């Protein structure tokens, strides 16, 4: 706990140290409690401020509420009331800090989750790309197999046709010499016949 008598000193100390709550008298020399509260809010300090006044007025109370004073106590101050107000302010500030800590953790977890999701998406994309490549390769292989089967079928058909042609050709070829012999014999026979018939024609 730090006690100061001027608002300016309080401002300087707040720049160096961290506190859970501030208790300020509205009537401070140099920088009064309302001005100190306004300055703290302007600089972004969110810690609870308990304002104390000996001359309560409606306008001062409205200013304090607008600036976000945690509590507004009037003199004479009851010690029990004062201690409870400070305890509540400190507990409130700790809850605020815990909430901020949890929010930061949540943001960190959210960021990690987003990174994990991105990694998973990248893995899925990469796996999909590889599957598409494998499918394309499989399709090309299938096309090659179909083409090979077609060529094999054409080859078998060609072989069958060639066999069907070769069989008669082989038969003809194998009998060609015999036909030549028959032809020679017939020609010789006819020549001899014509030679014998020639004298009879005269």
The answer to whether the beta carbons of residues 64 and 37 sit under 8 Å apart is yes
| Regions of the chain with pLDDT less than 50 | none
Check residue 78 and give its pLDDT.
Answer: 83
| pLDDT digits 0-9 by tens, 74-89 | 788 888 888 898 899 8
Distance CA 57, CA 62 (A): 9
User: In sequence order, which ranges of the chain are alpha helices (DSSP H)?
Assistant: 7-16, 33-42, 58-66, 79-201
Distance CA 97, CA 93 (A): 6
For the chain, the first-to-last Cα distance in angstroms comes to 168
Check residue 123 and give its pLDDT.
Answer: 93
Check residue 142 and give its pLDDT.
Answer: 92
Check residue 12 and give its pLDDT.
Answer: 73
Taking the CA atoms of the chain, what radius of gyration do you get in angstroms? 57
Check residue 2 and give its pLDDT.
Answer: 66
Task: Dig out the tokens for 50 from the structure.
Answer: 């308990």
Measured between alpha carbons, how far is residue 154 from residues 120, 140, 165 in Å? 50, 21, 16
Check residue 132 and give its pLDDT.
Answer: 93
What are the φ and ψ backbone dihedral angles of 162, each rounded to 5 degrees? -60, -40
Q: What is the pTM of this model?
A: 0.51
């Amino acid at each position: 706990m730090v006690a100061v008598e001027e608002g300016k000193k309080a401002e300087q100390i707040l720049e160096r140290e961290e506190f859970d709550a501030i208790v300020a008298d509205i009537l401070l020399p140099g920088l009064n409690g309302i001005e100190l509260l306004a300055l703290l809010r302007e600089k972004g300090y969110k810690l609870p401020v308990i304002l104390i006044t000996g001359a309560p007025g409606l306008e001062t109370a409205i200013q304090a509420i607008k600036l976000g004073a945690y509590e507004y106590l009037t003199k004479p101050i009851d010690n029990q009331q004062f201690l409870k107000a400070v305890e509540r302010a400190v507990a409130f500030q700790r809850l605020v800090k815990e909430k901020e800590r949890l929010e930061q953790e949540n943001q960190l977890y959210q960021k990690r989750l987003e990174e994990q999701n991105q990694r998973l998406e990248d893995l899925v994309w990469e796996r999909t790309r590889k599957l598409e490549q494998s499918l394309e390769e499989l399709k090309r292989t299938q096309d090659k197999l179909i083409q090979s089967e077609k060529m094999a079928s054409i080859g078998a058909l060609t072989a069958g046709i060639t066999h069907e042609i070769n069989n008669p050709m082989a038969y003809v070829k194998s009998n060609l010499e015999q036909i030549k012999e028959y032809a020679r014999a017939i020609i010789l026979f006819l020549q001899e016949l014509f030679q014998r018939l020639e004298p009879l024609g005269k």
